[in-house]
Structures are given as structure tokens and as C-alpha cells.
Amino acid sequence: MAGEYWWLRRRAARNGPTAGDYEKRDTLPAWPWAWGAWWRRSWGPKLLGPFTPGRGRYGKAVVVGALGAAATTTVADIVARWIDEAEREPAAVNGSAVHSGHDEKRDEHTVAARVARRVSSVGGVIAVVAGGVAITTTWASRTTPSGCGGGGSCPTSAPGQWRWRRPSRPGTSSTTGTTASCTPAATCGRSTSLHHSSEHYNLSTALRQPVAEAFGTFVPFGSLCLFGISRV
């Protein structure tokens, strides 16, 4: 990349700018994506392995945390909505003492509603993150050939995906059937929009790698594996 940058810069100074020139606003934002993709491939399975339900040590805690956060978020939303509706109801106020008591009660309701909304916002994030980790790691561990996905413990009796595949042997599908199955699944599973989003075609475009593709591509590619298609 450094050599290409030097060569393109000299060419631009001699012949004028082109679509392949490096631009700071285009190249620098791509670096975090590159590091994120490298981390996901190198360290993601090892770090997420202990949190895989049914495989890792903390798998049950992740599931319980996700369900608990979802329940807490639901209750907090109901409480906040109830307080808002109560505050909108007209109150008959007779006398300054009653009015003062009503103001104090309204202040208490306001504080309670604020706390409920804060609990709801935090609980919602926890529920989404923990639920996403539980679902994706579970699917990954169940669709790996050895049944030991996610970097967790690997019992010798782990079934893996190939025990459930159809047909019984990978690669026995006909060429026509394999092509018909792979084409739509591979099209839905590839994250090409981000990878080709740059308007400057140079080596820095290769840095634009999807980081969170495992949260979506596991569905089409895992389904292909379950149907006995070993390679796309």
C-alpha cells in the first residue's frame, strides 16, 4: 500500500488526479474495519467460546442474563408508561396543602419514571447483546463439522453438523443441485456492499472487511452445511 500510494501520488502530480488515488477521508476509516475483522477471525472464537450455551463455562449465565435483562426491560417499560399515564390524568386540587402534596407526589413520579427509563435503556442493550451472543454462538457450535465450535470444550461424542446432513456424504449432491442451492445462499450471505463501498479503487479498499458478518451469514452458510454442501 505504501508503494502504491507513492506511485499514485507521483502519477497524480504528473497527469492529474484519478479514481484510484488515495484520500484520507476514504482510507483512514477503513483501518478499524480491517483490525476488527482480523480480531474477529483470530480471537473471536477463543473469547466467545466460554460464553457458548451448552459448550462454555458461562453459557448458562449468558442465557439467564439475556432473559433476565429482557424481563427487567419489559417491567421498566410498563412502569414508566404507567407513571406517564398517571401524570396525564387531571387532579382536583383544593387548598394549598393538597396542592403542595400533589407537587411532591408528582416529583416522586418524575424521578421514578426517569429511573425506569434508564433501567429500560440499559436492560435493552444487555438483552440484545447477550441474546445475540447466545444465539450466534449456539448456532456456530452446532453447525461446525466437529461440533466443537466457539473454542469451548470438545467432547468426543460431539455430534457436529455432519451427523445431521442430507445427503449423508458431503459433496454427493449433483452439480446442478449444488449450484442451485449455493447461488442464492451465497448471494444472501456475502457482505459485499461494505467491501466495495469505496469510490477510490486502490489497495486500501481491501481493508473494508465486515466485522459482524457472523451475526447474519451463519444462517445461509450453516444451512448449506446441514444439507451436505461442504464448499461454496
Domain ranges of the chain: 22-48+161-232, 52-158
Q: Per-residue pLDDT averaged across 54-73, rounded?
A: 93
Query: Is 144 a residue whose pLDDT tops 50?
Result: yes
Task: Indicate the SS3 state at residue 55.
Answer: coil
How many CB atoms lie under 10 A from the CB of residue 141? 28
Per-range mean pLDDT, top range of 100-109, 169-178, 203-212: 203-212
Task: Report d(CA 144, CA 162) in Å as an integer.
Answer: 8
Cell of 121: 435503556
Confidence of residue 43 (pLDDT cuts 50, 70, 90): confident
Global pTM? 0.55
Cα separations in angstroms, 76 against 66, 110, 119, 120, 126? 15, 14, 6, 5, 14
Are the beta carbons of 66 and 58 closer than 8 angstroms? Answer: no
Q: Per-residue pLDDT averaged across 57-86, rounded?
A: 92
Helices (H), the chain: 2-15, 24-27, 30-42, 44-48, 59-88, 96-143, 175-189, 192-195, 218-226
Task: Report d(CA 120, CA 128) in Å as an integer.
Answer: 12
Q: Residue 85 has what pLDDT?
A: 80
Query: Is 155 a residue whose pLDDT tops 50?
Result: no
